[in-house]
A and B are shown apart, each in its own frame.
Chain A
């Protein structure tokens, strides 16, 4: 089945710097890759997603890139702000299932003012 690995587990950046979180997946047929943000004590919420027919997607300060050959995808946050501090999860949906997402173990991002 699908396996998703996420790095790093913690990331500390200065406000205004960029942050990059990387994930690799095992199922070459996976076709949907979302990123969720979870603030302390809150529920995870989708911030951006990408499908396998697209290489990059941007939404204001966040972007996701997908490399299907290498089976990895990354979240890029530019001009980080203290409110970006949270845990970020990547996930992948395998081709064999329209219903299941497999999540990475999460990255705790701290943006220092």
Chain B
């Protein structure tokens, strides 16, 4: 039981490049989330998926898109990366008691 996994662990992009962050969970959870974590600002919700086939915007969705590929996988895409998107990105899934389980994170640097 791997829990929540994310790839890649680290990534460096140039301004304007695109990339997709991958997330998968093997706990059969319905809900999945993408957060970004910046120093002094806690965890801010980018997008979430309440269940397979649905996605909704969180607090900071601009510049991102998501895809809920199936129940296990939820990806985050940056179409044209900007330095302001330099951050640590966490994927999470949620069980029926509301507890969220986080992945190990992706550290993204945009130069």
Contacts and interface: CB of A to CB of B under 8 A. Distances in A.
Given A99-B31, A99-B48, A100-B48, A45 B102 contact: yes
Interface residues of B, number: 21
Contact of A100 (B41, B42, B58): B58
A6 B58 CA distance: 20
Contacts of B50: 98-99
B94 A46 contact: no
The 6 closest A-B pairs by CB, nearest first: A43-B102, A105-B42, A103-B43, A103-B42, A99-B50, A106-B42
Interface of B: 31, 40-45, 48, 50, 56, 58-59, 90, 94, 98-100, 102-105
Interface of A: 6, 9, 32, 34, 42-46, 49, 89, 93, 98-106
